[in-house]
Amino acid sequence: MLRIPNFGEAPLWKMASGVCFGTGCSFSLGLLTGFVEASFQNQRMGLAAHLEGVMNGTFVIALGATWSEVKLQTRQKAVAYRTVLYGYWAFTTLAAIFGTATLSPITAAGHSGRPWQEALVMLGFISVGLTIVLASVMVLWGLRRSVVSEAGLVDSRRRLSPVLAPNPTNSDTCLRGA
């Protein structure tokens, strides 16, 4: 059983390794889905599940590369981590297995599932859509805070600190080429 870490006061390397593990799982599941997509009831949705796993894996790889720069409180970072790993692959694969058409009429290709299957896939797609938006906003907010702290902004009105003010002696030196 996959155990999602509880970050509490976990060191940064544990969170980063968790993101890398999630990346490997998502990317690998996407690749493996490509081998069996022809056996799904809805092959177009099987292709969508394959591509979704690979794209989510790529997204998480990019996120893992910047994870140390995300400046959020520990609990917020844990929520962002968990919501990123809650991906489309599982529900897209279920849609391919069941042959549902909910929220994906183009890939449905005339298929439809039982009402409970359609409802399950619809709720899954909606929940994943909302969680990935939440995760993206949290990560972007954390990256913004990283940029703000590196820029040396001193208060909420975003005035630059004197350290970042233009230095005439440096610009003169640059212009003279010395």
Q: For 12-43, how does the pLDDT look when each residue is reduced to its tens digit (9 = 90+)?
A: 445 555 555 656 677 888 888 889 888 888 88
Return the pLDDT at 13.
Answer: 46
Return the pLDDT at 92.
Answer: 83
Helices (H), the chain: 12-36, 43-66, 74-85, 88-98, 105-108, 115-151, 168-176
Q: For 142-151, how does the pLDDT look when each residue is reduced to its tens digit (9 = 90+)?
A: 988 766 666 6
Of the chain, the end-to-end C-alpha distance in Å amounts to: 63
- Using alpha carbons only, how large is the chain's radius of gyration in Å? 22
Whether 167 shows a pLDDT value over 80: the answer reads: no
Which of these, 77, 85, 32, lies nearest to 61 by C-alpha position? 85
Is the CB of residue 46 less than 8 Å from the CB of residue 96? yes
Average pLDDT, the chain: 74
Query: Does pTM top 0.75 for this prediction?
Result: no
